[in-house]
Structures are given as C-alpha cells and as structure tokens.
Amino acid sequence: MSARFITFEGGEGSGKSTQIALLSARLKQASIDHLLTREPGGAPAADLIRALLVTGDTGRWDGVSEALLHFAARREHLLHAVWPALAAGRWVVCDRFADSTMAYQGHGHGLGRAPIEQLYRIAVGDFRPDLTLILDIDPAVGLRRAAGRHGDEDRYERMDMAFHVRLREGFRAIAQAEPARCRLIDANRPREAVAADIWRAVAGAFSLPA
Ligand SMILES: Nc1ncnc2c1ncn2[C@@H]1O[C@H](COP(=O)(O)OP(=O)(O)O)[C@@H](O)[C@H]1O
Ligand SMILES: [Mg+2]
C-alpha cells in the first residue's frame, strides 16, 4: 500500500494532539508503519523556528514575516522528515500543515489567500496531503480546553477572540473549497465520538477495514 500523508488541522484546543494519538493506535493495530510529526517543527532547524513563533509577545511578528517563518520551517520539515519517510514507504501523520498558515495568517491576520498560495508554491510545490481532518470547534470552547494545558508555547492562544473566530472561518472555508481532500469534523463532542468519525474518514479514504 502506498504511503499516505494525513494532516490534522483546527484551532487551539480542538483536540488535534488527542485525536492523533488515538489514530496512531488504530494505525498500529492495522500494522501501518507511520511517522507522527508536527508543525511548526518536526526537524532540527524547523524546531529552532518554532520557538520564535509559539513563544513571546503576540505582536512580535508582522503577519507576512510570520507566514514566511512558517513556510521556512515547513520546508525544512518536508526535506528532512516528511518526504524521506514517505519515500521509505511510511505513512506520515502531521499535527498542523499549510492549512494552518492559510487560516492563521491568511484569515486571522488578514493577509488573504494569494500570498499564502504563492508561498506554498515556492516552499512546497505541487505536494499536498492525501487527507486532511479539520477539527471544528467554537473557539471559546477550544481556548477553555487549551487553558488547562501548561507550558509557554501559547503565543497564538493569547491572540484576541476576533482572531480565533476568523481562523475558524478560514478552516471552514478551506474544507468547503477542497472537499476531496478535507473532512470537517465536529470536535465539540466526546473524544470517542470524534475518533470514530476520524477513523471512518481514514478507512474510507484509503480502503482500510473499518
Ligand atoms: N473531545 C474532547 N472533549 C473534551 N476535552 C478534550 C477533548 N479532546 C481533547 N480534550 C482536552 O482538551 C485539551 C486540548 O486538547 P488537545 O488535543 O491538546 O488540542 P490541540 O492539540 O488541538 O490544541 C486537552 O487537555 C485534552 O485532554
Ligand atoms: Mg496540540
């Protein structure tokens, strides 16, 4: 079976990390060797850039600069982790990818679609995820969940509510524009119900036994 690239998207506290762990267990049961990774980060140089993006003052970057940093980290991640794994026949499950840049910088910061699409061409080219699960949740609920975590990687969480509302709309617009690649999942339900929908989507997309 050919290697697949699956991405998880959604706002803060939507349950991406939780659901990726559950999907990983199901893939293991199905004997599908896979790499779990995340953005920004996932490779040494990309992790250096991650620290610049997820900590510090909310206003530390201009929106365009922020998008450039995300795509620089993404290219390092693709070159040194994602593409080698796929070439070796492993599946890759990634916590956030380019849809987050479209949602956060394109919609949240208001850069619009065109500059994000241009940067995508330069940094990523024609490569695309085979399947994207977009976890959709009211940002007030997601942020409340996220507040229960600890750590200092909360720069985006600290942005204002209007920003989080815009990025949710951004994700929903992506799901609507690309129905073949994306599945919009109602994430405001118990973990098991969300996981069941996700497994149905993955099994259906890649003809795995349900
Ligand atoms: N379906 C759910 N219902 C309630 N709480 C959840 C659910 N899924 C995850 N959580 C909790 O919400 C918090 C954020 O979840 P997490 O998976 O870290 O989200 P993300 O990675 O999208 O930011 C965690 O404390 C997690 O245990
Ligand atoms: Mg997470």
Ligand 2 mean position, distance from CA 102 (Å): 18
Report all structural domains of the chain as residue ranges with CATH numbers, in order of start: 5-206 (3.40.50.300)
Per-residue pLDDT at 1: 63
Q: Which atom of ligand 1 is nearest to the CA of 11?
A: 22
In sequence order, which ranges of the chain are alpha helices (DSSP H)? 16-29, 44-54, 63-77, 83-87, 98-101, 113-123, 139-147, 161-177, 191-206
- The contacts of residue 106 (CB under 8 Å, 6+ apart) are 67, 112, 113, 115, 116, 170
Mean pLDDT of successive 10-residue stretches along the chain, which has 210 residues: 94 98 97 98 98 97 98 98 98 98 98 98 98 98 92 95 98 98 98 98 93
Residues lining ion ligand 2 (Cβ < 5 A) are 16-17
Q: Whose CA is nearest to atom 8 of ligand 1?
A: 15
Tell the residue number behind the tokens 């080698």, with chain if given.
84
pLDDT of residue 210: 77
Ligand 1 atom, smallest distance to 191 CA: 1
Output the pLDDT for position 150: 79
Model pTM score: 0.98
* Ligand 1 nearest-atom number relative to CA 190: 1
